C-alpha cells in the first residue's frame, strides 16, 4: 500500500530544516523494515501571513512510501516517536499519514492543501478534515500547529502538481549543453518549458538542446511527475536553458 | 527602493527576488553582515550566493523578509 507521509514545523530558526527531518523519517522507515521503498521529499509552500506562526518559510514536507497493507499503525507509531525525538524543543511539529487508496474523497484533502496556500487555516479545521477522511493527523510537541501544514502537505502532494523536490544534482556537460534525453538521467520524468511561470511546452523532445552552464538540476512536481524546467534561451548556446533558481520559488 | 527598514528585532527588508535591484541590495547587506549563514538547500534560490534572500535568519513576509538574527538568543556570536 502506498502512503503519503507529511510533516511540518519541526524546526527552529537555527536548527536543521524540516526537509532534513522528512528525509530522516523516510530513510528510517526503510531501514526499520516498515517501508519497502520511499519516494523523494517534496517541499510545499503555504501561505505567508502575519497570523500564521511559521518559523521562516511556512513550508511543509511530504514523501510517499510503500508499506504493508496491515502496517499503517506501526508506521504511524514509529513516525510519531521519531518526529517527537528529532524535532526542536521550540517547534510545534505535526504528522500526517494518508493512504490515498483508502480515502473516499481525495478532492477534500487536495482542497485543504490548496486552501492552506490561500488563507489562514485553523487546527480544529485540519483535524475535522482528517477525521472525515480517515487520515492520520497528530501533534508531537509545542502547540501542535504543525498539523495544519502536515495535512496541507499531504493534500498538495496528492494533487500531483505542487512543490519542488528536495535536493539538487550538479549537471555535467561538456560545452555546457545537453540534450533533453541526457537531462532526464538526472532524475527527471520530463522536461517542460515555462516563461514567467506559464507553460509554453509540456514535453520537450529528447534531442532538443538545453544550455545548462554550471547549473544544478532542481525538479518540481507537475502532473505527478518529477519535472525539470527550462525557458527559451536568452542568446545562449542552445535554444533552451534551465530556469533561474529564483523562478522556482513559484513552485 | 529595497532595503532594510526598522531596527533591532524588527529589521525588515522590503523587496522581492523577482527584481534584480532588490537582489543586489540584499547581496550588499549580506556581504556587510557578520551574521549571514546559508539556509538549507531547499530554501536557496540564488545558487549558494551570499545574499540575505538565502540566509537562514530571514523570515519571509508578504513584502520581503524580516531579519531574525537580532531577536535570537545570545548563544549565537554577536554582530562584529
Give the model confidence (pLDDT) of B9-42 as tens digits: 567 888 888 888 999 999 999 998 888 899 988 8
User: Which of B17, B40, B72 faces A246 most closely, judged by CB atoms?
Assistant: B17
Q: Which residues of chain A lie closer than 8 angstroms to B58, CB-CB?
A: 56
Task: For B44-56, give the DSSP string.
Answer: -SSTT-S-GGGBT
Q: Which residues of chain A lie closer than 8 angstroms to B18, CB-CB?
A: 246
Q: Cβ of A49 and B44 within 8 Å?
A: no
Mutate to test the interface with A, among B42, B63, B71 (most CBs of A within 10 A): B42
Full-model pTM = 0.92
CB pairs under 8 A between A and B: 58
E-strand ranges in chain A read: 2-8, 37-38, 42-45, 59-66, 94-98, 136-139, 164-165, 169-170, 177-179, 190-195, 198-201, 209-211, 216-217, 219-222, 225-232, 240-242
The CA distance from A133 to A110, in Å, is 11
- Max CA-CA distance within chain B? 35
End-to-end CA distance of chain B: 27
Mutate to test the interface with B, among A245, A247, A248 (most CBs of B within 10 A): A245
Q: How far is A28 from chain B (nearest CA, A)?
A: 20
| 3-state DSSP assignment of residue A154 | helix
Q: Determine the angle formed by the axes of helices A123-133 and A106-118, rounding to 10 degrees.
A: 170
The CA distance from A245 to B12, in Å, is 23
- Give the contacts of A128 (CB within 8 A, at least 6 positions apart): none
The residues of B whose Cβ lies within 8 A of any Cβ of A are 17-18, 23, 39-47, 56-62, 68, 72, 76
**CA nearest B40: which of A226, A22, A212?**
A22
The interface predicted TM-score of the complex, written ipTM, equals: 0.81
Q: Cβ of A48 and B17 within 8 Å?
A: no
Q: From first to last of its 251 residues, what are the pLDDT tens digits of chain A?
A: 999 999 999 988 878 899 999 999 999 999 999 999 999 999 999 999 989 988 888 999 999 999 999 999 999 999 999 999 999 898 999 999 999 999 999 999 999 999 999 999 999 999 999 999 999 999 999 999 999 999 999 999 999 999 999 988 788 888 889 999 999 988 899 999 998 888 999 899 999 999 987 677 889 999 999 999 999 998 888 999 998 777 888 88
Q: Cβ of A249 and B44 within 8 Å?
A: no
Q: Cβ of B61 and A48 within 8 Å?
A: yes
Amino acid at each position: 500500500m502506498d502512503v503519503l507521509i507529511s510533516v511540518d514545523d519541526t524546526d527552529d530558526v537555527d536548527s536543521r530544516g524540516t526537509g532534513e527531518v522528512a528525509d530522516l523519517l523516510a530513510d528510517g522507515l526503510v531501514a526499520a523494515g516498515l517501508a519497502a521503498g520511499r519516494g523523494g521529499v517534496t517541499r510545499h509552500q503555504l501561505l505567508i501571513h502575519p497570523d500564521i506562526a511559521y518559523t521562516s518559510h511556512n513550508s511543509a514536507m511530504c514523501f510517499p512510501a510503500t508499506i504493508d497493507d496491515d502496517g499503517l499503525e506501526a508506521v504511524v507509531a514509529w513516525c510519531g516517536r521519531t518526529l517527537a525525538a528529532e524535532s526542536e524543543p521550540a517547534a510545534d511539529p505535526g504528522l500526517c499519514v494518508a493512504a490515498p487508496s483508502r480515502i473516499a474523497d481525495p478532492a477534500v484533502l487536495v482542497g485543504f492543501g490548496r486552501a492552506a496556500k490561500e488563507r489562514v487555516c485553523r487546527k480544529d479545521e485540519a483535524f475535522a478534515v482528517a477525521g472525515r477522511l480517515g487520515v492520520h493527523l497528530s501533534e508531537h510537541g509545542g502547540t501542535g500547529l504543525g498539523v495544519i501544514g502536515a495535512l496541507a502537505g499531504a493534500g498538495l502532494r496528492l494533487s500531483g502538481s505542487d512543490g519542488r523536490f528536495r535536493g539538487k544534482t550538479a549537471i555535467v556537460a561538456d560545452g555546457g549543453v545537453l540534450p533533453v534525453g541526457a537531462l532526464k538521467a538526472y532524475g527527471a520524468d520530463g522536461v517542460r518549458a515555462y516563461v514567467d511561470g506559464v507553460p509554453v511546452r509540456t514535453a520537450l523532445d529528447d534531442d532538443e538542446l538545453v544550455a545548462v552552464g554550471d547549473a544544478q538540476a532542481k525538479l518540481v512536481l507537475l502532473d505527478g511527475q518529477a519535472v525539470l524546467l527550462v525557458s527559451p534561451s536568452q542568446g545562449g548556446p542552445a535554444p533552451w536553458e534551465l530556469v533561474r533558481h529564483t523562478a522556482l520559488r513559484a513552485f | 527602493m529595497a532595503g532594510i527598514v526598522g531596527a533591532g528585532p524588527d529589521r525588515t527588508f522590503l523587496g522581492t527576488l523577482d527584481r534584480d535591484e532588490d537582489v543586489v541590495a540584499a547581496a550588499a547587506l549580506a556581504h556587510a553582515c557578520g551574521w549571514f549563514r546559508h539556509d538549507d538547500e531547499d530554501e536557496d534560490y540564488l545558487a549558494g550566493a551570499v545574499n540575505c534572500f538565502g540566509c537562514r535568519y530571514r523570515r519571509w513576509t508578504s513584502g520581503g523578509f524580516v531579519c531574525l538574527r537580532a531577536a535570537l538568543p545570545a548563544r549565537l556570536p554577536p554582530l562584529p
